[in-house]
Amino acid sequence: MKTATVIKHIVDWLTNYSKTSFTKGFVVGVSGGVDSAVTSTLCALTGKNVIVVNMPILQPPSQYQRSNEHIEWLKVKFKNVTSFNVDLTSSFEQISVDLSNDIQDDLTMANVRARLRMTTLYAYAGHYGYLVAGTGNKVEDFGVGFYTKYGDGGVDISPIADLMKTEVFALAKELNIIQSIQAAKPTDGLWDDDRSDEDQIGATYPELEWAMTFEGDEGAISNRKQEVLAIYRKLHKANQHKMMPIPVCVVPESLK
């Protein structure tokens, strides 16, 4: 991949989209991960105003520290970047009090965290007339659907959604993103512990990328690859409701 050329293409795309949509800049939620670090840097390279928001919710210290390190690096490098730290822990805890205990399973509450963050990003975007830039990559958004519907999936634009995870890492290297982020295991940041995406999915991103493009003879591949293929296909099927447009019930004119 020609990383410098890809970077320029995305930056130009962001610039043109902002211009044609009559918006003034971008809002990006930063998590301490490579996707949000790359996305926020690409937005900053447009020269337009960029707000980066750190939104901890009972966050492991390592994730919070990486987020802050990236924000400081970004603000030193780009004068068009401002930041806000919005600790949503108390908001999340209040929702936990208000919701019935019967529905508070781990996954449900992890998704609540993501949707709280989406609401926060749109509060800033709406006030300033900016676009919320999504941080999902191609594997997450179109492969396994590894995101929260109307959470981190609730965005205006998706600058890196056509890039595989390994390609995002390649851009991070080209952009000189801080080493602590480049070396960190990918995580969605929706849990009290430091579990990685691999821990949750059961496969690495390179393995999932292989599965997304596999067209060979399944009988000729290793047991591990068969396992990865099964994981990929199961998630891809189960999460179609996230990846497809919202179904609309079309009423025939004869019935109106």
Tell me, what's the pLDDT at 61?
A: 86
- pLDDT tens by residue, 232-255: 999 999 999 999 989 999 999 999
pTM for this prediction: 0.94
Tell me, what's the pLDDT at 188?
A: 83
Tell me, what's the pLDDT at 193?
A: 81
- pLDDT tens by residue, 83-126: 999 999 999 999 999 999 999 999 999 999 999 999 999 999 99
**Structural domains of the chain, ranges and CATH numbers in brackets:** 3-197 (3.40.50.620)
Task: Report strand pairing: 25-30 vs 49-54.
Answer: parallel
| pLDDT band, residue 216 (cuts 50/70/90) | confident
Burial class (CB in 10 A: 0-12, 13-18, 19+), 52: buried
Backbone angles phi, psi at 50, to 5 degrees: -130, 130
Structure tokens given for 55: 């939104």
Measured distance CA(54)–CA(51) in Å, rounded: 10
- pLDDT tens by residue, 58-91: 888 888 899 999 999 999 999 999 999 999 999 9
Helix 165-174 vs helix 205-213: crossing angle, to nearest 10: 130
Tell me, what's the pLDDT at 60?
A: 84
- pLDDT tens by residue, 138-178: 999 999 999 999 999 999 999 999 999 999 999 999 999 99
